[in-house]
Amino acid sequence: MSEQEKLAKEKICVALDGLSSMEEIKERVLELKDYVGLFKIGLELFTLFGPPAVELIHSLGGKVFLDLKLHDIPKTVERTAKAISKLPISYFTIHASGGFDMMRAARNGVGVEENSAKIIAVTLLTSIDSSILSEQLLVSAPLPACIFKYAKMAEDALLNGVVCSAKDLVGLRSALRPRFIYITPGINLAKDPSCASKVIDHKRLATPREAIGAGSSFLVIGRGVVDKPTPEERVKAAAQIVADISLMV
Task: Report the pLDDT value the prediction gives residue 191, as an integer from 0 to 100.
Answer: 53
Q: What are the domain boundaries of the chain?
A: 3-248
Task: Report the pLDDT value the prediction gives residue 201, as an integer from 0 to 100.
Answer: 54
| Catalytically annotated residues | 69
Task: Report the pLDDT value the prediction gives residue 189, as an integer from 0 to 100.
Answer: 75
- Would you identify the CATH topology of the domain 3-248? TIM Barrel (3.20.20)
- Specify the pTM: 0.91
In this structure, how many other beta carbons lie within 10 angstroms of the beta carbon of residue 109? 22
Task: Compute mean pLDDT per 10 residues along the chain, 249 residues long, and list them.
Answer: 92 94 97 96 97 98 98 98 96 98 97 86 91 96 95 97 90 90 85 49 73 93 91 94 89
Task: Report the pLDDT value the prediction gives residue 239, as an integer from 0 to 100.
Answer: 94
Task: Report the pLDDT value the prediction gives residue 148, as an integer from 0 to 100.
Answer: 95
CA separation for the pair 134, 104 (Å, rounded): 27
In this structure, how many other beta carbons lie within 10 angstroms of the beta carbon of residue 225? 28
CA separation for the pair 234, 46 (Å, rounded): 22
